[in-house]
Structure formats: structure tokens, C-alpha cells
Amino acid sequence: MARKRPLGTEEGRAYWTMVLPAFVIYMVVMAFPILLSIVLSVSNYNGGKMFGGEQWTVIGFQPYARLGIDPAFWMALRNNLFIVFISVFGQIPLGFILAYLISRRLVKFPDFWQTVIYIPNIISVVVVGILWQTIFSPYGPLSEIFNKLYQANFHSHLAAIFQSFGQFDIKNVPDSLAQKIVNLAGPTAASNFSNPVADLKDLMQSYDANQSGMLVNDLTNLLAPKWSMDFLNHRETAMLPVLFVILWMYTGLYLIMFLANLEKIDVQIIEAARIDGASEGQVMRHIILPSLSGVIVNLAILAISGSLNSFALIYAMTGGGPARITEVLSIYMYDKAFMNGAFDYPLANAVAMVMVVISFILIGITKAFEKKFGGKE
């Protein structure tokens, strides 16, 4: 039991002199905003009379009811849960595996890999978002690479088709040749020609006999399939690039944390286990993982809280995407509070409270798993 420190004693005055400033700062910066957010989430506040609004009052849980019937909220919640999943079951395991390989010197140049994997964490989140937005854009380097590969493959097949027909009169192109080229092009031919076989023959007959190489190149440019990023505009797949970037960017953070804690494990214990015949997998399972159980739980809590607060990276990378299909709760909350003149502060604060509740639930589940399955450090 903590010993009471009477305020009148010298020890008590010293104690409260050191504790009180931190307590006041906490109440002002943390506790008061949380309490205010709870109150606003059950009110009709829209700026108050100071900003031309009506007198605000408590209206109950109507903002929460509006959240429940808004499809955009459920989509944002789904996207947030995807991020939580990739953070907890992607970043943490991958960070641990990489840290284990580096700490055990199972890879060459460990310092190099440690630096390379951690570098994304020191780059501005906005810069990373814009960078990957450019990479995944329809005219970005990823599209260029795939289009070059498609063109090279199409060009080789097209040249093989021409070679199979040998010498023929370019002014009298066989229907079978045109049909094979149309079959090779597939949907691209249908989109470029109203009558693919006839129109393609007319196009080919406009070339001279000594322009066969030019004809193959022009047909390749015209009919080769194009890499499409349309799958990123579909609800089911739009989050994949975002999840990949999140995994790529933050794995290095967990790598460094695991490396720091792996250094604390007594090497003599590991060596003794190896001498007794323990394999690398047995060392990891029976020594390393139990020793890091508390660290893993703390990192899971960090991942959960960070995932629910995701904003800058996704906003810079997609802005919510078409039809808001990559929107997360923080962006949804921001839009409701500040964008398009909405100023729906009760709804925005209701979202904030939902995020807090979800965070507590997930952290509680994590602590329960630690209590049941975790080891002792």
C-alpha cells in the first residue's frame, strides 16, 4: 500500500510540486478533450451561437444511430480493420523474422539490411504517400514496366504469326492471317475496330511490301494489351496498395524494436540449448518467443492504436479514393467535421468515441491472449 504524504510536510510539498504540473498538463491536454468529445458526441453542437449556430444541447445517441445507417462509415471501419490486421499479423511477425535473421547473423551484411528496411520510417509520410500514388497511377512506372512486357510478348507472337505465313501479297492479306492477329489481340482489337477482320486487312494493305517491320511495330503499339489499374477502383481490391505500403513502411520500426530486445536475451542460454541439441526452431519457440511475449504484446498495442489513427499516409496516397472506397475512420471523421461545409461535430466525435471503444476492445483481446498463452520475460 502506498504511503500517504501529508501536504503540510516537506516531503509532501516536494511530492506534489513534482506531480501537480504533470497532472494538470494531463488533465488539460488529455482528460478534458476526451470528456468534451464524449459530451459533443451526444449533442447537436454545430459551432454554437459564436459561429452562427443554434444553442447546443444534449440530444442523446442520435449521432451514433446515424453512424449505424451510413454505408460510408462501415466501409471506413472495414478498411481500418484491414489495416489493424496487416499491422498486427503482418508487420510484427515480419519484423520479428527479419530481426531474428539479422541478430543471429543468418544473413550476410546484416547492418546493410537493417538500415535499408528501417529507412522508410525516416521519410515523410506525405512524401511516401505521393511517391506510391505516382507508382500505382495509370501512367506511373509500374504501368510502364507492365506495358513494355506486354508489348514485347505481343510483338514476339505477332512476328511468329507473320513468319508462319511466309511470303504473301501485302495488298491481298489472307483472311486467316487477319483472323489470327485479331484472336491474338482479343478485346483490344474489338475496341479499336468496328469490324476487326475487315478493318485490320484494310489497315495492313495500306503498307508497302518493304514495310513489314514497320507494320509489325505499328500493330504492336495499336493492339498490344495495356496494363490496367482499374482493379484499384474496385471496392474489394482498392485497399491492397495501401496495405502493401503500410507493411513496407512500418515493418522497419518493429524490426528495430525486436533487435533491441533480442540483444537483452542472454546468449549463454541460447548456446547452452544449442549444445544440448536444440534446433534453431526449438530455440526460437522455447527461448526467444517466451522471452519476448511482453514485448510482442506492447508492440501489438502500438500497432492497434497506430492503425486506428491512420490518416496522413492514406490521405496523401488516395485521398479516400473514388467513391471513398479507401477511406478510413480518421478521414471519415475529418470529412464530417471540416469538409464541404458539413461541420457535423457530433457525428465526428461519435466516430472518435467508436475508435476509442474499438481500440480498448482489441487491446483487451490482446492482453487476454497474453495472459492465456504468453510466457514470462
Q: Which residues contact 313 (CB under 8 A, 6 or more apart)?
A: 125, 128, 129, 242, 245, 246, 249
Q: Read out DSSP for 79-141?
A: HHHHHHHHIIIIIHHHHHHHHHHHHTT-SSSHHHHHHHHHGGGGS-HHHHHHHHHHHHSTTSH
Amino acid 197: pLDDT: 86
- What does the pLDDT read at residue 368? 86
pLDDT at residue number 6: 57
Tell me how far apart the alpha carbons of residues 306 and 247 are, in angstroms, rounded to a whole number. 13
pLDDT, averaged in runs of 10, over the chain (377 residues):
59 82 88 88 76 74 91 92 94 93 86 92 90 84 88 90 81 86 86 85 84 86 82 80 92 93 85 83 84 89 88 82 80 85 84 91 87 62
Q: Per-residue DSSP letters for 101-113?
A: HHHTT-SSSHHHH
What does the pLDDT read at residue 250? 93
Q: What is the pLDDT of residue 49?
A: 63
Contact criterion met (CB below 8 Å) for 310 and 86: no
pLDDT of residue 185: 86
Bridge partners of 43, per DSSP, are 58
User: Distance of CA 23 to CAs 26, 31, 36, 60, Å?
Assistant: 5, 10, 18, 31
The CATH classification number of 71-137+234-373 equals 1.10.3720.10
With both helix axes pointing from N to C terminus, report the angle between 110-118 and 240-262 in degrees, rounded to the nearest 10: 130
pLDDT attached to residue 1: 46
pTM of the model: 0.81
- Return the C-alpha torsion angle 258, 264, 267, 268, nearest 10: -150
**Helix, coil or strand: residue 58:** strand
Where in the chain are the domains?
1-30, 71-137+234-373, 141-223
The alpha-helical segments, DSSP class H, found in the chain are 10-26, 32-41, 62-68, 71-86, 92-103, 110-118, 125-136, 141-165, 175-185, 187-192, 196-205, 212-223, 240-262, 267-275, 280-283, 289-291, 293-308, 312-317, 329-338, 345-373
* Residue 141: per-residue pLDDT: 86
